Amino acid sequence: MNKNRYLLCLLLCGLLLYYAAPRMGVFNGGTEGIFAISWLALALFVIAGNLTALLFAPKKAAASGKRVRKMAERKRVRSFGR
**Residue 46: predicted pLDDT:** 93
Helix (H) or strand (E) run with residue 13 in it: helix 2-20
**Residue 74: predicted pLDDT:** 66
Tell me which DSSP letter residue 56 carries. Answer: S
Q: What is the pLDDT along the chain (82 residues), one digit of tens a residue?
A: 788 898 999 999 999 999 988 888 888 888 999 999 999 999 999 999 999 998 888 877 655 566 777 776 666 655 566 6
**Residue 15: predicted pLDDT:** 94
**Residue 58: predicted pLDDT:** 81
Q: Sketch the domain layout of the chain as residue ranges.
A: 4-78
Tell me which DSSP letter residue 59 carries. Answer: P
Where residue 13 falls (left for φ over 0; alpha for ψ -120 to 50; beta otherwise) is: alpha
**Residue 26: predicted pLDDT:** 83
